Amino acid sequence: MVNTKVNLCGIELDNPVIPASGTFGYGYEFAEIYDINMLGTFSFKGTTREPRLGNPTPRIAEASSGMLNAVGLQNPGVEKVISEELPKMRKVFHKKVMANVSGFSVEDYVYTCSKLDQCGKVGWLEVNISCPNVHGGGMSFGTSPKAAFEVTEAVKRAVKKPVIIKLSPNVTDIAEIARACEDAGADGISLINTLLAMRIDIKSRRPLLKNVTGGLSGPAVFPVAVRMVYQCKKAVKIPIVGMGGVSSAEDVLEMMLAGATAVEVGAENLVEPTACKNIIEALPGAMEKYGIKDLREIIGAAC
């Protein structure tokens, strides 16, 4: 027998597989397809202080071995997530969930995280710092060590639950950002978020996305994600949640060897709704194939 259990910031998971925010909604649509309680946990749709309609369409475009999205954080706002979505979630998923939070100011992050911190269903706060800082000229919080430190420190002062900071890959030195988050008290980091990209329609000679640029995800970004997880593992001591193009049990093992304690699956859920189920079911066999008896033993083993 192999052991697939891992411990993420003090909470034990049956396995390290976590559907990523933005690709799994609030879980209940997927619960109609399979028993989602087999998941380690899942990160629900990114939540902001106020409701957001998102960006104008078209906001999805295909790419070789991946996809671009510029959805724009469409969500009903934190109040409705708590009053409407979490009660529905409880009916189909019986474990703690990861709350993904976005904001456009430090105050936004603190407000939304404080609200979700009071919810018993929430186990972790995954704070997405790839959002533009409206008080800082629009530059993403995740591209500046100082801004990343500021958000992390402010959120940590306001909440009791583990805070996992989700990092942007659109930086020169990802390890520097990771260290800033650790120094500010982060309990963990997750990476990578999508890579900034664009496509152009040759016929119309215009960008395919109304927003012009979007985030690239899918298998194309997997080697970049592995590299960045590896660099962060060498830079910090806090747990890492790895993601970016993960689509198989072997990808999970590779990401864990690079330094991830748990692994999120994103775009693959949109291609194959049972992707996480398939990965979890294949994981013990993949472990046996490579002589791995306990997943905890391989975390960062390649570093």
Q: Is 303 a catalytic residue?
A: no
Catalytic residue among 131, 181, 232, 276: 131
Q: Which of 250, 248, 241 is nearest to 218 (CA)?
A: 248
- As to burial, measured by CB atoms within 10 angstroms (0-12 exposed, 13-18 middle, 19+ buried), residue 206 is exposed
Q: Is the Cβ–Cβ distance between 264 and 43 less than 8 Å?
A: yes
Q: Enter the tokens of residue 170.
A: 């659109």
Give dist(CA 182, CA 219) in Å, integer.
28
**Which residues have C-beta within 8 Å of that of residue 82, sequence separation ≥ 6?**
115, 116, 119
Please list the residues that pair with 99 across neighbouring strands.
44, 125
Please list the residues that pair with 75 across neighbouring strands.
52
Catalytic residues, by residue number, are 131
